[in-house]
Amino acid sequence: MLDRKRSILIREMMSMIDEANAIQDKIDSAYSAAYQSLQKANITLGICSELAQTVPVENGVRISFSSVMGVEIPSVTCEQKDELRIPYGLTGSNSYLDAAYMNFLKVKELTIKLAEIENSVYKLAYAVKRTQKRVNALKNIVIPRFEKNIHSISGALEEKEREEFSRLKVIKNQKTFL
């Protein structure tokens, strides 16, 4: 049963690793596009630090948990409003800054998804390691100990049977002499 649990956890972990690699590639390209847009915005507008201060701090990230074979897997969600609202004024900005803002929003979404997957992979890897330790303990320690106990108990029971058989024989021989 533990072998089955381990194989299910490994299968789940491998699928998440593949997904994490795909998201990592997307993040790399999204970061590249975002920083290029930010660089263009900085070139055309000057340093955009004042406009960057108008972007609100993200506090809509929520974490919930689900269970896979007894392992708590996190699910990270980001509460976003349906409408996209640019937090800075349009008079002091340009399309490059808008593109940078949009690209960094995409980076944020991908980073949240990657954090969820990587955390899940770490938890699954730890569960696989723990399950492997249990399997090894059962296979190399507990089962051989039980087999040794069974062998010694079987030997003791066979010895008692032989004693009982010889005792019955002695009793039967004594009855025939009387």
The domain limits of the chain are 2-136
138-160: pLDDT as tens digits = 889 888 999 999 999 999 999 99
> pTM of the full predicted structure?
0.67
Helices (H), the chain: 2-45, 49-52, 95-137, 143-177
* pLDDT confidence tier of residue 178, bands split at 50, 70 and 90: low
* pLDDT confidence tier of residue 47, bands split at 50, 70 and 90: confident
> Please, which residues bridge with residue 71 across strands?
68
Query: CATH assignment of 2-136?
Result: 1.10.287.3240
* pLDDT confidence tier of residue 43, bands split at 50, 70 and 90: confident
97-118: pLDDT as tens digits = 788 888 888 898 899 899 999 9
Token pair 């976003």 in the structure block, residue: 80
